[in-house]
Amino acid sequence: MNDKFPGWHGTTIVAVRKNGQVAVVGDGQVSLGQTVIKGSARKVRRISPGGFDVVCGFAGSTADAFTLLERLETKLEASPGQLARASVELAKDWRTDKYLRNLEAMLIVTDGKDLLVITGAGDVLEPEHDIAAIGSGGNFALAAARAMMDTDRTAEEIARRALEIASDICVYTNGNATVEVING
């Protein structure tokens, strides 16, 4: 990347698994340097390769994330119902392929049972405490969600509130939430 180019920043994606449900919530802000370019981007999506529902949230370059989502769909079509296996295969390709290794994004994926974070470093991580968070406001959302896990709130309520808290702290995150909920 050109050092003079200010770069795209932003995004907070948080996923919470509680009582048989997983909620994935993402903000809508896209920033270029200190400028908000768009406030209503949709960074959480549901894909259904072969009728098998998977919810994905992404942080980083949008084009790169879509490339990775397409690859994940292909992996899931080859291994229906096996999200962990498809995620590991994607991470292997991402790490070793000359084209893919330059992609700048992170993914949270879930089928309601598995909850995984996939990175370009070849990582497929199952987060502790049934919470995953990525992006510039990820750590804020993670801390907020962990503080609410022992309350009576649902997975969706915790994830939404965690994003709201992150958006109050992180200048690259807004409160314009996209939410997808999937049962385990």
The Cα–Cα gap between 19 and 29 comes to: 30
Token pair 């899931």 is found at: 76
Identified catalytic residue from 11, 12, 173, 178 = 11
11 is catalytic: yes
Which H helix or E strand runs over 85?
helix 83-96
The Cα–Cα gap between 12 and 24 comes to: 11
Distance separating the N- and C-terminal Cα atoms of the chain: 40
Give the residue numbers annotated as catalytic, written as ranges.
Answer: 11
